[in-house]
């Protein structure tokens, strides 16, 4: 019987023209059977008591930070589209300040104070980041102008950038008048650090 | 003689494959109402009946738990054995059923009779003496379908707990359980293959259980609760639903091959037009004749078209009451209907004019030219 079946398959392959045609016919036959015929299932799995009458779609959880649909994060565009939030934040801050004035309860006063601090600090952080971005932009603009003019564009070192930042900070402090106190504090801090480095009496 | 044997063998092979079909329907003639015999004896509606394989006895069971074996050839329909039903609460003492008997089956050698009731019990009786041999427990809800595998003593049972169980009656043993239905099973039937078909009530499916392979084939297509099912041959079956539709199924297609909607017409129930529920279907094995019953005061006979792809109504037989069970005799000489005042599964309506009885309808055949 095996010889007969081998013979038959060989002749069939010869007629149909080799390996390529044998496989797709099998696949299509199986597909046809499963589409038209009744569904075949195992009879040994116990069925749950409650029957599914309407199909309930599962909620797909997406994280917009890592989702491809959200696109790439561009800070300028993000700030522009969500700039309306700044006014809301301002209003909320005013609300909390009012509540803080009214409040008598110590616990709640502490909480409100913490919240207020949080908000102000967030604002300051935002402003800092904004300044950084502006500085970067201005540097790039400078370099673009130089390139346009024909000179070779140069890129600053990190230490150079830090020096520039320090210069700006000093200018700012001078304007507000706190330069002296800042410089004093810095000198004290540096003195303590240097003292630590000196050889101590114990190692004698 | 050699020809006869050859023919017989051929028939057997065709029967196995499900291709044997005796085209009988066109020769059957409507009976005259005088020849229809009514045999009474049950107090509550008859729920199910079986005809012994040699066509000599009819066993019927009813909602009061009683079982009657009668010899139908005698004019008065002599009752040979009566097993009365017990009242609720007498299960231990009483030798019989104490609740509604929902289904019955007889083995193909006429030896064992099985009955299933609402108390989750299956009772096995000796068909000749009507003595109870064994009780099978194991189902967790009412037993609603029973059928023997033709030629063996293997019993298939279906129940309202949505599972199908296989039993071996000769050894009084339980074999296995099959799961899959999502609502109560309302009917079960089997022929000589190790397969059975079940009708699944409100889950709208008809399932064919392949027991050696432990798998099931699921067929959809009925709307409404599928209440009754019978196999016509090894490859086709007919089912009836409570939206009045009768469907013919083939094993290769998941939708019915033919569907007859509102087969018994519409009824005016409480001011709404509703189709008459199909409460029983019967098929003459390996032929193309079908019968359906409802409470529309008639039993309708149908002819299956070419390749079971069409369903044509033939004619009606007037009866009064709910037709809770229909069975053809093996030779196709007569049709037995179990009638009652109520539906076999509940008391939605009550037909007061009806008598709780079984009705024997002889089917004459037009003499065909040799």
Domain shared by A168 and A138, yes or no: no
Domain shared by A186 and A146, yes or no: no
Domain shared by A160 and A184, yes or no: yes
pLDDT value of position B165 = 95
> In the sheet that B57-62 helps form, which strands lie side by side, from edge to edge?
B46-51, B57-62, B67-71, B78-83
CATH classification at residue B228: 2.130.10.10
**With 0-12 CB in 10 A as exposed, 13-18 as middle and 19+ as buried, what is B313?**
middle
Q: Which of A36, A42, A51 sits opposite B215 (nearest CB)?
A: A42
Domain shared by A88 and A148, yes or no: yes
Q: Could you tell me if residue A107 is inside a domain?
A: yes
Pairing mode, if any, of strands B298-304 and B289-293? antiparallel
Sign of the Cα torsion A67, A69, A71, A76 reads negative
Q: How far is CA B167 from CA B48, B134, B164, B201, B253, in A?
A: 21, 12, 10, 23, 30
Domain shared by A177 and A190, yes or no: yes
Domain shared by A180 and A164, yes or no: yes
What does the block give as tokens for B172? 């009084």
Domain shared by A139 and A187, yes or no: no
Indicate the pLDDT class of residue A126, thresholds 50, 70 and 90: very high
CA pair distance B288, B26, nearest whole angstrom: 9
Domain shared by A141 and A79, yes or no: yes
Q: Could you tell me if residue B4 is inside a domain?
A: no
Q: Could you tell me if residue B81 is inside a domain?
A: yes
Q: Could you tell me if residue B370 is inside a domain?
A: no
B357 min Cα distance to partner chain A (Å): 38
A 113-132 residues with CB < 8 A to B: none
Q: Could you tell me if residue A13 is inside a domain?
A: no
Contact B217/A36, CB-based, under 8 Å? no
Which of B262, B267, B268 is closest to B247 using CA atoms?
A: B262
Contact A37/B178, CB-based, under 8 Å? no
The H or E element that residue B153 is part of is: none
Summarised one tens digit per residue, pLDDT across range B128-176 is 988 899 999 999 999 999 999 999 999 999 999 999 999 999 999 999 9
Q: Could you tell me if residue A11 is inside a domain?
A: no
Q: Which of A38, A42, A47 sits opposite B182 (nearest CB)?
A: A47
Indicate the pLDDT class of residue A24, thresholds 50, 70 and 90: very low
Closest Cα in chain B to A37: B253
Q: Which of A36, A41, A51 sits opposite B215 (nearest CB)?
A: A41
Q: Could you tell me if residue B3 is inside a domain?
A: no
Q: Which of B182, B203, B214 sits opposite A44 (nearest CB)?
A: B214
DSSP letter for each residue of B213-282: TTEEEEEE---S-EEEEEEEETTEEEEEETTS-EEEEETT-SS-SEEETTTT-EEEETTEEEEPP--EEE
Structural domain including B39 reads 20-88+97-362
**Average pLDDT of B21-48?**
86
The interface pTM score, or ipTM, of the predicted complex is: 0.74
Q: Could you tell me if residue A26 is inside a domain?
A: no
Q: How many separate domains does chain A show?
A: 2
Domain shared by A137 and A185, yes or no: no
Summarised one tens digit per residue, pLDDT across range A65-120 is 888 888 888 888 888 999 999 999 999 999 999 999 999 999 999 999 999 999 99
Interface test with B, best of A29, A36, A37, A38 (most B CBs within 10 A): A38
Contacts 24+ apart (CB under 8 A), B77-80: B77/B37, B77/B39, B77/B360, B79/B41, B80/B130
Summarised one tens digit per residue, pLDDT across range B227-247 is 999 999 999 999 999 999 999
CB B147 within 8 A of CB B190: yes
Q: How many separate domains does chain B show?
A: 1
Q: Which residues pair with B268 in a beta bridge?
A: B273
CA pair distance A203, B286, nearest whole angstrom: 113
pLDDT value of position A27 = 46
Q: Could you tell me if residue B15 is inside a domain?
A: no
pLDDT value of position A20 = 47
Instruction: List CB contacts (< 8 A) between A37 and chain B.
Output: 217, 252-254
Domain shared by A146 and A167, yes or no: no
Q: Could you tell me if residue A143 is inside a domain?
A: yes
Q: Could you tell me if residue B34 is inside a domain?
A: yes
Structural domain including A99 reads 74-155
Provide the 10 A C-beta neighbour count for residue A26: 9
Summarised one tens digit per residue, pLDDT across range B277-320 is 999 999 999 999 999 999 998 999 999 988 889 999 998 999 99
Q: Could you tell me if residue A22 is inside a domain?
A: no
Q: Could you tell me if residue A187 is inside a domain?
A: yes
CA pair distance A179, A188, nearest whole angstrom: 14
Question: Is the pLDDT at B255 greater than 60, yes or no?
Answer: yes
Contact A47/B218, CB-based, under 8 Å? no
For the question of whether the overall pTM of this predicted structure is more than 0.90, the answer is: no
> Which three-class secondary structure state does DSSP give residue A135?
helix
pLDDT value of position B228 = 94
Domain shared by A174 and A123, yes or no: no
B57 min Cα distance to partner chain A (Å): 36
Domain shared by A109 and A147, yes or no: yes
Q: Could you tell me if residue A97 is inside a domain?
A: yes
């Amino acid at each position: 019987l095996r010889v007969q079946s081998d013979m038959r398959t060989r002749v069939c392959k010869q007629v149909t023209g080799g390996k390529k045609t044998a496989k797709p016919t099998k696949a299509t036959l199986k597909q046809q059977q499963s589409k038209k015929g009744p569904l075949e299932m195992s009879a040994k799995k116990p069925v749950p008591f409650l029957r599914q009458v309407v199909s309930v779609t599962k909620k797909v959880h997406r994280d917009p930070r890592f989702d491809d649909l959200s696109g790439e994060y561009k800070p300028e565009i993000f700030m522009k589209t969500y700039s309306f939030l700044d006014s809301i934040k301002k209003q909320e801050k005013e609300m909390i300040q009012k509540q803080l004035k009214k409040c008598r309860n110590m616990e709640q006063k502490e909480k409100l104070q913490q919240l207020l601090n949080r908000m102000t600090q967030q604002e300051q952080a935002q402003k800092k980041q904004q300044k950084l971005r502006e500085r970067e932009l201005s540097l790039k603009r400078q370099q673009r102008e130089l390139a346009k003019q024909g000179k070779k564009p140069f890129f600053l070192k990190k230490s150079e950038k830090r020096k520039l930042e320090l210069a700006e900070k000093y200018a700012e402090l001078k304007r507000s008048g706190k330069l002296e106190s800042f410089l004093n504090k810095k000198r004290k801090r540096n003195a303590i650090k240097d003292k630590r480095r000196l050889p101590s009496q114990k190692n004698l | 003689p050699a020809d006869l044997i050859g023919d017989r063998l051929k028939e057997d092979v065709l029967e196995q494959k499900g291709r044997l079909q005796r085209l009988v329907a066109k020769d059957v003639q409507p009976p005259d109402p005088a020849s229809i015999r009514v045999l009474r004896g049950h107090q509550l509606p008859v729920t199910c009946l079986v005809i012994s394989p040699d066509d000599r006895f009819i066993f019927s069971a009813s909602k009061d738990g009683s079982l009657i074996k009668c010899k139908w050839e005698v004019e008065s329909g002599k009752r040979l054995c009566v097993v009365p039903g017990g009242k609720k609460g007498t299960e231990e003492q009483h030798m019989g059923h104490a609740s509604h008997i929902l289904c019955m089956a007889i083995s193909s050698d006429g030896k064992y009779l099985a009955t299933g009731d609402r108390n989750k019990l299956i009772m096995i009786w000796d068909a000749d003496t009507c003595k109870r041999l064994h009780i099978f427990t194991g189902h967790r809800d009412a037993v609603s379908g029973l059928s023997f595998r033709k030629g063996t003593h293997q019993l298939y049972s279906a129940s309202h707990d949505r599972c199908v169980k296989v039993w071996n009656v000769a050894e009084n043993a339980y074999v296995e359980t099959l799961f899959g239905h999502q609502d109560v099973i309302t009917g079960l039937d089997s022929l000589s293959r190790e397969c059975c078909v079940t009708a699944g009530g409100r889950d709208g499916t008809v399932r064919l259980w392949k027991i050696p392979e432990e798998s099931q084939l699921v067929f959809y297509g009925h709307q409404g609760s599928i209440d009754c099912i019978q196999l016509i041959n090894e490859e086709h079956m007919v089912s009836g639903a409570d939206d009045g539709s009768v469907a013919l199924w083939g094993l290769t297609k998941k939708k019915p091959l033919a569907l007859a909607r509102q087969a018994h017409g519409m009824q005016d129930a409480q001011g709404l037009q509703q189709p008459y529920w199909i409460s029983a279907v019967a098929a003459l094995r390996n032929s193309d004749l079908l019968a359906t019953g409802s409470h529309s005061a008639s039993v309708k006979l149908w002819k299956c078209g070419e390749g079971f792809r069409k369903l044509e109504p033939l004619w009606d037989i007037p009866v009064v009451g709910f037709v809770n069970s229909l069975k053809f005799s093996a030779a196709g000489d007569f049709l037995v209907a179990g009638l009652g005042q109520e539906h076999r599964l509940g008391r939605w309506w009550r037909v007061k004019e009806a008598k709780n009885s079984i009705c024997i309808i002889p089917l004459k055949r037009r003499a065909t030219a040799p």
